[in-house]
Structure 1
Amino acid sequence: MPGPLSNLKVLDFSTLLPGPYATMLLADMGADVLRVEAPGRLDLTRVMPPLEDGVSTSHTFLNRGKRSLGLDLKQEGSADLVKQLVAEYDVVVEQFRPGVMDRLGIGYETLKAINPHLIYCAITGYGQTGPYKDRAGHDINYLSLAGVSSHCGRQESGPPPMGVQIADVAGGSHHAVMGILAAVIHRQQTGEGQFVDISMTDAAFALNTMAGAAALAGGQEQKPEGSMLNGGTFYDYYQTSDARWLSVGSLEPQFSGRLCDALGIPDMKSFALSQNPEDQRAIREALKATIARKTLAEWQDVFADVDACVEPVLSISEAAQHPQMKARDMVIDVPNGNGGTQKQIGHPIKFSVTPCESRYIGRALGADNGDF
């Protein structure tokens, strides 16, 4: 059975992370994605280490399931080819700064005149409007301006540089996919295409959720280590005797009770339930001292059959081997085009009737030029 988006054709002009990750998700769900990339404008994800067979594993993951058209959009005749293609495509995704596609002669209004049903998604750092629309930025900047960084990390050390690109992926990529699919449903109902404006900063601001609600409607600004979920309680990470870490999320009474029993500190149960900062400091210190007495493996044995919201902090390689990840097919073997396969992260959405398929890893630049 083909994927749920098998009738969708996507023309992808994006580079680096946000756009390519979004269109990879669409490709996994069955969309026919053609990536347009300038031969003389290197996408850095092609050369980011580590490499396998001379190609970055980042590139082969982010661009799996897509065809590749090498095309310099500044060269004469390129705009004409794009105009020919767009007549047969449903979606355009681009990640240039506002106005660049217009200057290349293939902006939204131009392409809309050719294909009125076209859904055109532009992913940028700050959106198509506002005083920052032409400003450069990266994930760390979007999180900072959106207020996310202000309530993350520790009071003494400040906000941490995250290992996951939150604004790029949870913001840009995921919101782009949602916006595109919502526009597809609208078009099915009305026949009308539209422009989808995705700002990674907007999306990051929306990720504030409960902290945002508290600040805007409740007048209560969340600070680092100032709330239940950001270090203000015993809900935290604790170091083991072998310098590994254990995550403790035992907030509810039934879970905190089991936690204290498993750790051999039943006298701390009332402290776990208390809202008093002094009580919270006391249980944090008790957890810190107790958890430091055993290795991570020993604590894993202790909590293996204890339902208390306590789990080890695993590396990515360890997570890939975890029985839960294996059961969910979150590590897959993707054909590499040379008769072999490459291990990659699997698609996180599971469909009962139209399963996702990762058909092949990211292709060489211009691998499909002969088709056009």
Structure 2
Amino acid sequence: MLHGITIVEFEALGPAPFAGRMFTELGAQVIVVHRRDENHSPAKSAQSPLDAGKRSIALNLKHPNDIEIAKNLVAKADAIIEGFRPGVMEKLGLGPEEMLAENPFLVYGRMTGWGQTGPLARVAGHDLNYISLSGALHYAGLPEDIPQTPATLVGDIGGGALYLIAGVLSGLIHAMKTGRGTVVDAAIVDGSAHMMNLLMS
């Protein structure tokens, strides 16, 4: 369905690579930008199922030449997905303002735990934190027992990756209709809370 669509994924933890893998399964070409250093090399798909079907390049995003390579990749892409802390991409010169100036059709997909702004934006977090504050943990287990922490499916995957995917797909349709790109900001805590609507209604 997404044949002809190119998405650049900047290597991050679980939810963003999961989203990238889903895009490959929908037919998009996904190019993952791995970190390049002496202690790390890009994972082979046999080692990391989340990299299956993706093309990859290893870049040191602290090196100006490699930043230029990353910018060229993004300039030719339909969308990017990144899961860094707020402000990291801006410091690298790869933030949405810079990239949309280079590529006005770009769908810029971002995923964080707490969103780009707000009192917790720069606070580290994990799936358990997001589902606790969103109220989702209340529904894990029996009423008379302490909550049983579910796997990362509720927060990281459900509230994060799947909402990022939905946002990027909507952004791609918007770009095709209007010729204008957009920024998609998927916060895991927001997505987790939104998923609770059915249970809380």
Task: Report the TM-score range of the alignment, normalised by the length of the smaller protein.
Answer: over 0.9
Distance 2:152 2:112 in 1: 18
Q: Return the match for 1:17 from 1, 6, 14.
A: 14
Q: Which runs of 5+ in 2 are unaligned?
A: none
Which whole-Å deviations, capped at 9, do the CAs of 1:134-184 have from their partners, x for residues lacking one?
Answer: 111111110001011123213443111213431111111111111001111
Q: TM-score under structure 2 normalisation? A: 0.92
The answer on whether the counterparts of 2:80 and 2:108 sit within 8 Å (CA) in structure 1 is yes
Partner of 1:133: 121
Q: When you count helix as a share of all residues, which structure comes out higher?
A: 2
The answer on whether the counterparts of 2:13 and 2:83 sit within 8 Å (CA) in structure 1 is no
Amino acid corresponding to residue 139 of structure 1 in structure 2: D
The 1:62–1:42 alpha-carbon spacing in structure 2 relative to 1, beyond 3 Å, is farther
The 1:24–1:133 alpha-carbon spacing in structure 2 relative to 1, beyond 3 Å, is same
Partner of 1:193: 181
Distance 2:45 2:19 in 1: 18
| Bigger-Rg structure (1/2) | 1
Amino acid corresponding to residue 23 of structure 1 in structure 2: G
Distance 1:42 1:100 in 2: 21
Q: Give SS of 2:129's match.
A: helix
State percent identity of aligned pairs.
36
Q: Give SS of 2:124's match.
A: coil
Distance 2:8 2:146 in 1: 41
In the alignment, is residue 36 of structure 1 matched against residue 28 of structure 2? no
Partner of 1:7: 4
In the alignment, is residue 161 of structure 1 matched against residue 158 of structure 2? no
- 1:264-343 alignment runs, 5 A limit: none
Q: Which runs of 5+ in 1 are unaligned?
A: 47-54, 214-372
Partner of 2:50: 62
The answer on whether the counterparts of 2:3 and 2:29 sit within 8 Å (CA) in structure 1 is yes
Q: Give SS of 1:77's match.
A: helix
User: Which ranges of 4 or more aligned residues in structure 1 deviate by more than 3 Å?
Assistant: none
Q: TM-score under structure 1 normalisation? A: 0.51
Which whole-Å deviations, capped at 9, do the CAs of 1:311-364 have from their partners, x for residues lacking one?
Answer: xxxxxxxxxxxxxxxxxxxxxxxxxxxxxxxxxxxxxxxxxxxxxxxxxxxxxx
- The count of aligned residue pairs is 200
Coordinate RMSD, CA, aligned:
2.0
The 1:41–1:62 alpha-carbon spacing in structure 2 relative to 1, beyond 3 Å, is farther
